[in-house]
Amino acid sequence: MEGDVLVIGGGAAGMETASRISDFNRNVILIEKEQELGGHILKWDRLFPDGIPASDVTKNLKESLGSTKVLLGCYITSIEKREDSNFFAQLNSGETIKCSSVIFATGFKLFPAQKKQEYGYGLYERVITNADLETRFKKGEGLGKDAPKRIGFVHCVGSRDEKICNNQCSKLCCITAVKQAIELKQLYPFAEIFCFYMDLRMYGRGYEDLYLEAQSKYEIRFIRGRVSEISQEQSGLVIVKAEDTLASRPLKITLDWVVLMAGIISERENDYLSQQLSLQLGEDGFIDSVDPIQKTNQTNIAGVFVTGSASGPKTLPEVINEARSTALSVNEYLNKIKNG
C-alpha cells in the first residue's frame, strides 16, 4: 500500500493529525493496534474540566477522519528509511506500506500501579486506579450500591517518583483526581473524601476554580503528604498511612476505597521502532523533539514527526492543538520534498 503519510496510533492525537493532513488532499494511512479507534479516552467517562462525555470527543474525531485509510488491529513489525527518503513499513498483517512521512502518535502508558508494591494494588480489592474508576463510572457502577463512607485519592502514583524510576510529572492527574473526587461526591453525598498530594498543579484555565469548588462546595479534604503504605483490614477495608506535612504529624486512616492516580509513562513497547529509525528518546523514554520550542513535533530524523503524548504528558486540548500544528509541519515537509 502506498500513501503520503503513515500515522502510527489511532488515539486523539493520531486521529486529529490524520484528518487535518487529509484536508490538504494528502493520502493518509492511519494504523491502530486495537480493534477500535480512540485510545485511552475510550475507557474514560467524562472529561475535565467541564465534564464533557469522552465518547462525544471520540465520535467527533472519528467523523472528521475524511478520506483517511484506517487499518485496525495493525501494528508495525519493522520500519526503515530508504535512500530516496521513502519509508517502508512492514505490518503484522503482512502488508507493506510505502510513504514519504511517518508520524508517531503512539501515546503513553498508564503506570502499572502494582509496581508501587506498598500500595497493594492487585492485592487488595478496594484499591483501584483512576482508569478502573472511569471504567466503573462508564458502566454506571460507581463504587457499588452500598454507599462508601470514606474514600481516599492518592496522587502521583508512579509520577515524580525517583524510587520507581519515573521523574516526570504526569500533568493531568491532579485535575483528574479533583474531577473524579467531585463525581464521587455527587454520587455519594455523605462520603468523606480525602486527597493525599505532594503538590497540586492546577495550571490550566478553570482548574484552580474546580479545586476551590471541590473544597468549598464538595468538602473534599486535601492532605499534603505522601502515602507511605496501605494495608488491609480483615473486613476488607483499607488502612492508609501517610504524613500530614502541614500539621507535621503522621496519620493513619481507615478507608472504604482508595483510588490510585496512576501516572503517565512512556510507551516503552515501541522502543524497537525508534531504534530501527534511530529516533532520539529522552531519559524518560518519551520521543525527543529536534527543537523543544519551535519544532516540537519534528524529530531528529527528517520525515519522522511526533505528536501528542508520545513526546510527553499532555492534556486533550493540547493534544488536539498539537495535532493541527503537526499537520501543517508535515504538509510543509511534503511540499519541500516534492519540489526538491
Which stretch in 6-14, 111-119, 193-201, 286-294 sits in contact with other proteins by CB under 8 A? 111-119
Residue closest to 60 by CA, chosen among 104, 9, 5, 16: 16
Which stretch in 25-33, 222-230, 272-280, 319-327 sits in contact with other proteins by CB under 8 A? 222-230
Verify binding: residue 60, other proteins, rule CB under 8 A.
no
Task: Round to whole Å and give the CA distance between 230 and 28.
Answer: 48
Count of residues binding other proteins (CB under 8 A)? 18
Provide the b/e sequence for 58-68 (b: ≥16 CB within 10 Å). beebeeebeeb
Task: Round to whole Å and give the CA distance between 242 and 248.
Answer: 11
Instruction: Tell the smallest beta-carbon distance from residue 117 to other proteins (Å).
Output: 5
List the x/- string, 248-277, binding to other proteins by CB under 8 A: ----x-------------------------
Verify binding: residue 63, other proteins, rule CB under 8 A.
no
Restricting to residues 67-96, which ones interact with other proteins according to CB under 8 A? none
Instruction: Tell the smallest beta-carbon distance from residue 262 to other proteins (Å).
Output: 16
Task: Round to whole Å and give the CA distance between 145 and 129.
Answer: 19
Measured in degrees and rounded to the nearest 5, phi and psi for residue 275 equal -65, -45
Cα–Cα distances (Å) from 130 to 32, 211, 274, 322, in that order, read 24, 17, 29, 25
Verify binding: residue 115, other proteins, rule CB under 8 A.
yes
Measured in degrees and rounded to the nearest 5, phi and psi for residue 248 equal 55, 50
- Between residues 247 and 328, which has the closer beta carbon with respect to other proteins? 247
List the x/- string, 143-182, binding to other proteins by CB under 8 A: -------------------xxxx-----------------
Q: Are 261 and 130 in contact (CB under 8 A)?
A: yes
Please report, as ranges, the residues that interact with other proteins according to CB under 8 A. 115, 117-118, 120, 123-124, 162-165, 228-232, 239, 241, 252
